[in-house]
Structures are given as C-alpha cells and as structure tokens.
Structure 1
Amino acid sequence: MENLLLHSLVFIFIITLTIKFLLERRKQERKLPPSPPAIPIIGHLHLLKQPLHRTFHSLSQKYGPIVSVKLGSRLAIVVSSPSLVEECFTKNDIVFANRPFFSNSRYLTYNHSTMGAAPYGDHWRNLRRIGSIEIFSPSRINMFVDVRKDEVKRLVRRLYHVCNKGFAKVKLRPMFMDLSFNVIMRMVAGKRYYGEELEQVEEGRRFREIMTEFVQCTEVSDPADIFPILKVFGFKGAEEKCMRVGKRLDEFLQGLIDRHRSKKDGNTMINRMLDLQQSQPEYYTEEIIKGLIQVNASNRIG
C-alpha cells in the first residue's frame, strides 16, 4: 500500500512538472530565440554530443546564429555569430554579467562572494576596483619586476641543467606554467609552490593538491542543479566533496593570512589587504581577502 502511494505521488509530481514545462514554454515561445524540439524534463540534453562546438554549429546552421536550449530546468542561449558575441560583451555586457548559482560553487566561493562568482552590483564593482588598483595596477606590477626576473632566471637555469649534456627534448608548457604560477603566488603570498627549489616542499605539495581538487570540483556540474527533483530524494552529487575541498582551502588560506599578520612586513598582496583591513575592517573581511587570493590562484591553475 505504501509503495503504491509513493508511486502515485511520483507520477503526479512528474505530470505536474510536465504541464508546468509546457505552459512556460508556451509563455516564452514568442520571446525566446528559435529552439529545436525539446523533451519534457530533460529539455535538449539529448542533443548535446561531443564535440560540443560541432553540435552547436549544426544547430546554428538550422535555427540561426542565436539558439535557445533547455538544459533540464535551466535555459541557455547559444550565440554563434562573432558580431553578436561582440554586442553581448559591449552594448549588453551588464545584462550578461551575472553567472548562474550552482550548489557546488557555494562551498568554493564563500557563498558566491568572490569576483568570479558574485552577481553584478556594488559588491562586484568594489572587488573589481580592488583588483584594478591594489593588485593589477601598473605601479603594483612594477613593484614585482625583481620577482619576474628571478623566476625567468630560474627557468633558464632549469633548462640549462636539462640540456647541458647534449640534445634533449623538453616540455616547455609545464615549465612556463610553473613560471607564471610562481610569479602570481610570489606577488600574492611571497612563496613559490611549483617547480624546483621550493623552500617548503610539504606546504607546496599540499597547496598543489588542494588547488587540483578545487579545479576538479569547479569543472564538474551537479546533476541536481539541472534536475532539482533529485534533491527531494536526497541526491547530493559532488556536494560533499566540494564542501570538504572548500574547507581545506579555507584553512590553508587562513593560515597564510595569519602568518602574514604576525610578521607585519612584506610586499605582497596579502600584506596590502591586511593594511587596508586596518582602516576598513567592515569591508576588508577575512573572507574578502581569502576570496581574492583564491581567484588569483585558481585562474592561474585553471
């Protein structure tokens, strides 16, 4: 009897969702760009095949340069025209400034408060101002010219040791990644975490491990974000892993901040943020500072 009742409730729920989907589609039909026929609940997910760019190209050939697709419960717009893409990022940049909220990113971006996840508004504009003035301004970049020179010298020395006995094949891509990443992290935290000649090998290993897991979490989408009904049945997807990775990263970044606060000297981004925290503690909170570190680190490794 209980099984029959449960099956009946699930059936009624699915029928309700289907009717709601059809009604919403009828409402939006005149406003949305052209769209291929969709299947209730899953939308156009059945059309997405690898490689995706060819799938979207074939859709644009049939339906035009702007195509709307439903990914489960989420609506997406695919723009295939270069001139229209330019218009999206110039005349209509504010309209497309926001990013959708995903359950996994809540644990990785301090509840969507970092520069890469925050919605467009005063908070996001302040974060951008901080980045433009305090991190990426010409004066701040010029302050770290010695860091860049030193990392280039280390790279040249590394190449010399590999090739000093004769011809040798060298993979330059990982070396250039180590170079750029170490430049960024020395500007941010005053430490090298990649390549050779590390002062703190264990800390570098831990940092690389956490950031690798962090990027893996950001690359995996949670099915429950596309099919919210899964949350009713207790489906969590990668949510628990993202929560664990977010906690480990938060503890690591907090440790960096605490060590810089105790030293009270140095010419790094963290030191500069801590100085600003003295004058504006209500805005330059620990989470804001950790979010700025995280964005710089994850953008580089990503």
Structure 2
Amino acid sequence: MRCMKVHVSKSEQMVNVLSFVQLLQRQAETLVWFLPLLLSLFIILFLRLHRVPSKKLNLPPSPPKLPFIGNLHQLGTLVHRSFRDLSKKYGPIMLLHLGHAPILVVSSPDIAHEILKTQDVKFANRPFTTTAKALMYGCTTISFAPYNEYYSQIKKISVQELLSMSRVQSFRYVREEEVDLMIEEIHRSSRLQVSVNLTEMLVNFANKFICRCALGDKIDTDGPKKLAHLAREASILLGAFSFEDLYPSLGWMDVITGLHGRLKRVSKDLDNYLEQVIEEHISSVKHDVDKMDFLDVLLKIQIDNKLSRENIKAIILDMFFAGTETVSTVIEWAMVELIRNPSAMMKAQEEVRRVVGRKSKVHDEDIPQMEYLKWVVKETLRLHVSAPFLIPRVSYTDTDVKGYHIPANTKVFVNVWAIHTDPEIWEDAEEFIPERFSRSTFDFKGQDYEFLPFGAGRRRCPGLSFGLALTEFVFANLLFSFDWELPGGAKIEELDMTECFGITVCKKEHFHLVPIPRFS
C-alpha cells in the first residue's frame, strides 16, 4: 500500500508546536525541569522556519576541511612550504581554516600588491594573539600594534628618532667595536685550530650589538646574555600553539597546557629587567648627545609624545626582537650559500679585499663599493627570507580581492617565500645565483612585489636601513679577514640545509666552519 504524502504548511506546523507546549504546561508539576529545553527547541524551530536565505558569498578557493580542526592536518612543520604546495593546487589566493580562524594565503605578486598597496588600509591591522598580548605589552609594539593613531605615533618616533640614517651612523663606533671583538674571538679559535660555531657566534654578536644600541654601554656584562635568554624564551612562545587563538571558547585549555603560566613568567621577567634598566638610565646623566642609546632618546621625548613607561618598554623590546634574529639569520644563510657555491665565495672575497686594499679591516665607507656583496645579500634574502609570511595582517572590514569576498577579521599571510621561489617569476628559482640582481632593479623598498624581504606599504619594516647596514658590515668583515672551510674534511654535498620554522626561518643545525686567517 503506497503511503500518502501530506503537505503541512508552516502555519500549521507552528500551531502543532504551540499545542504541544500547552499540553506540557498542563503537566508542569512533573516536567518543570524540562521546560527550558523545550523553550530552546521552540526558538530554534521558529528561527529555522522563518530564516531568510543568505546570499552565497564568492569566497576564495579552499581545500576540504575537517570538523573542528579545519585545515590544520594539511600543514607540516615548515608551514611556508605547506602553504606553497597547497597554493599550487588551489591557486595564489586561498582560504584556509586553522581551527575556527579563517586564514587568507596569498602567493603571487599581483595579489600581494592588492593587499599591501591598493587596499593597504583595509589590511593594515595585526592579529591580536594570546602570546603577543601577554609578551608585547598588550600588543603595543610597532610590529604588533593595531593600525591606529598610537601606531602612527610610535612608527614616526622609530623612523625619525631611533632608526634614521643619522642614528645608524651614530652607532658606528658600537658596530666597529663589536665586530673587532668577534673577529678577535675567531682568530683565537683559528690559533687553536678548532672550528667556530658560526650560528652561536652571530647570535651572540647581534645580541650584544642591539643591547648596546637599545640600552647603552653601562649595562652589566651579563645584561645581553640575560636579555637574549629571555628574548629566546619569548620568541619560542610567540610561535606557540594557543587554543584561544584557534578556538576562542577553549581558551581555558591554555591554562591546562601550561602556556598561560609560561607567558606570565616570561613577561614578568622581561618587564622586571627592562624596569631595572630604565631606573638606572633615569638616575644617570648622559652628557654625550652623539652617543645616546634608544632608551635615552625615548626617555628624552617621553613627555612631549605622551609615552607611558609600558610604551617605552614595548618599543625597546620590539627593537631587540626585530634586530637580533633577523641579522644573525641572514648572515648565517649567506655564509652557508657561499660555502655551497665556491665560485660565488671567490667573487665575493675578491671584491671585498680589492675594495679594502691595504687597510687592516673593512670600514663603513667601503661598503657602497661592494656591488657583488650586495647581490649576495639580496639573493640570500630571496632564497631564505627571514620572515616567510612577513607579519600577518588582518582585514578590519569586509572587502573584495580579485573578485573574491574577504570577510572582516580574516588573517592574511603573504607567502613571500613562495613568491621569491616561483619559477614563473625567477629563472632557476631554487638556485643561488647572485648575478641575477645585476640584471634587475629590485631593491628593498617594497616597490617590486616580486621581491619583498622587508614587506611593503604602511607596515613595511621601519628598521630596514639599520638592519642592512649592520648585515653588510659584519658580512664583509668575515669575508675580508678569513677564508672558510667545512670542518673534518666534510663535503659540500653533505651540508645539512634543513630549516627550522619560527619567528624567522633559520638553519635547524648549528653551522660550524673552520676559519683560516689571511694574516698571521
């Protein structure tokens, strides 16, 4: 016998539901506890019956996602490479979900231009992450501050007062002193005929240099080591997994995993150290205006610019984070690539030594004449860009990019590493060829979206001149003073190139080299 289909209108459905509720109300003495649940079901049913169909949005292509975790299962430990592999299948603009958080991944120059230039203001915000909020004074550093009046103020201070070319030149004596100390340390290792841990040496050098620039010469000898240790802990935490960021309703899990406790401890230790240094600066008088450190400058302009004590600490901390890992990582990768490419090493050393001539060491005025060395630095930043995604941005409003709808509060990752290694843009994209920059006009100013090691637009790295001056000077001195070879007769092909993903992408294994002095 065939069943008959009975059509029930929405109004009839509502009448039936109301009748059922009235029946239950008459039996309230036994079902009082059940009424809240029934009321909830009634509201849900009412909303479903009267829901207005939403307009389907044209979102960017997206890989299939799993419930709860989204696309997390498709990412490896080297996230920039995972994003590049996914973009090959889903295109240069791609929407992922990491937990409940929407992520826009951009992997082409034209879309990067749209995000960083054409719609720069709409994408000028930063993610307000759990770790950055705890460690960076409520996200009040230049790197993590939201795009607002405060950000404009501290960026202006940084560019005009802390990172100007005149300020860079004022730290020349610090650069020369710290490089001389490092070169002498390498000489001691060469006399003992032992290899040097170049990774560790460069990190220590960068720590001491940035510490002297930021906090001055009078900090105790253990100061740079202490700050470097705390900064290293903070760096690891900034890249740590947080439930609150991906699953806001599960923020309490960060307490159980111990993340909340570690953030509280490290942020307190950092704050105590910076507070101590500030008090020492206030109690001392600096007469030499030409040798003012960052903290001196900030304390001097504090009242006129309405900077709080926390604002000053945030700016100092940002300078330390931005300078230390970036400089040491770039020089290390440059040395790795020159060891792997002996002909490029020979050209770079020949140029440096020819320019310096009979002098005993490299001076600042020599650097502008070292064209090949500058190509090597550019090629290193192409293949081993320090921050492969730059620092993520966030859309503050709904917008369209290349015909796709991008919802407000979407995190945006511009995969600069993928752009830098795209064979459609670069010939022999995976090869280290410094000479390619002899045929191009690409610079570091963020005008060429095929080459963006320091970003572009309003959030471009303000420390560009400061970092480049230090990188080129240290690199030139290493090439001038020593020849270099792998320890224990190791072959170039055996060199481990495995990357480690963090705030910067560094070499996973420490890099050891044997220095051979040019002069006995």
State the TM-score, normalized to the length of structure 2: 0.48
Give the distance between the partners of 1:236 and 1:39, measured in 2 at CA. 25
Is the partner of 2:319 in helix, strand or coil? helix
Judging changes above 3 Å, is the alpha-carbon distance between structure 1 residues 297 and 57 closer, same or farther for their aligned structure 2 residues?
A: closer
2:251 to 218, 228, 231: 231
Match of residue 216 from structure 2: 190
2:198 to 152, 172, 186: 172
Residue by residue, what CA displacement relative to the aligned partner does 1:23-70 show, whole Å, maximum 9, x if unpaired?
9xx968523211122233322223223443443334323322111011
Match of residue 262 from structure 1: 283
Per-residue deviation at 1:291?
A: 0.6
- Asked whether the 8 Å contact 2:215–2:293 carries over to 1, the reply is yes
Per-residue deviation at 1:114?
A: 1.3
Match of residue 210 from structure 1: 230
Match of residue 138 from structure 1: 165
Match of residue 19 from structure 1: none
1:156 to 164, 180, 183: 183
Per-residue deviation at 1:245?
A: 0.8
Alignment pair present for 1:287 and 2:310: yes
267-276 or 179-188: bigger deviation: 179-188
- Asked whether the 8 Å contact 2:242–2:254 carries over to 1, the reply is no
Judging changes above 3 Å, is the alpha-carbon distance between structure 1 residues 61 and 149 closer, same or farther for their aligned structure 2 residues?
A: closer
> For residue 131 of structure 2, what is the amino acid of its counterpart?
N
Give the distance between the partners of 1:27 and 1:81, measured in 2 at CA. 31
Give the distance between the partners of 2:163 and 2:197, measured in 1 at CA. 29
- Asked whether the 8 Å contact 2:161–2:167 carries over to 1, the reply is yes
- For CA contacts below 8 A with separation 6 or more, give which structure has more relative contact order: 2
Match of residue 222 from structure 1: 242
Judging changes above 3 Å, is the alpha-carbon distance between structure 1 residues 285 and 63 closer, same or farther for their aligned structure 2 residues?
A: same
**What's the RMSD between the two structures over aligned residues?**
2.9
Per-residue deviation at 1:187?
A: 1.2
- Asked whether the 8 Å contact 1:224–1:236 carries over to 2, the reply is no
Is the partner of 1:89 in helix, strand or coil? helix
243-252 or 219-228: bigger deviation: 219-228
> For residue 100 of structure 1, what is the amino acid of its counterpart?
P
Is the partner of 1:284 in helix, strand or coil? coil
1:298 to 302, 315, 321: 321
Residue by residue, what CA displacement relative to the aligned partner does 1:251-271 show, whole Å, maximum 9, x if unpaired?
110111100000021621111
Per-residue deviation at 1:77?
A: 0.7
Percent identity between the two aligned chains: 29
Structure 2 gaps of 5+ residues are 1-32, 45-50, 326-520
The structure with the largest alpha-carbon Rg is 2
Match of residue 116 from structure 1: 143
Judging changes above 3 Å, is the alpha-carbon distance between structure 1 residues 65 and 301 closer, same or farther for their aligned structure 2 residues?
A: same
1:271 to 291, 296, 307: 296
Segments ≥4 residues shifted beyond 6 Å: none
- Judging by fraction of residues, say which structure has more helix: 1
- Asked whether the 8 Å contact 1:67–1:77 carries over to 2, the reply is yes
Alignment pair present for 1:55 and 2:82: yes
Judging changes above 3 Å, is the alpha-carbon distance between structure 1 residues 208 and 234 closer, same or farther for their aligned structure 2 residues?
A: closer
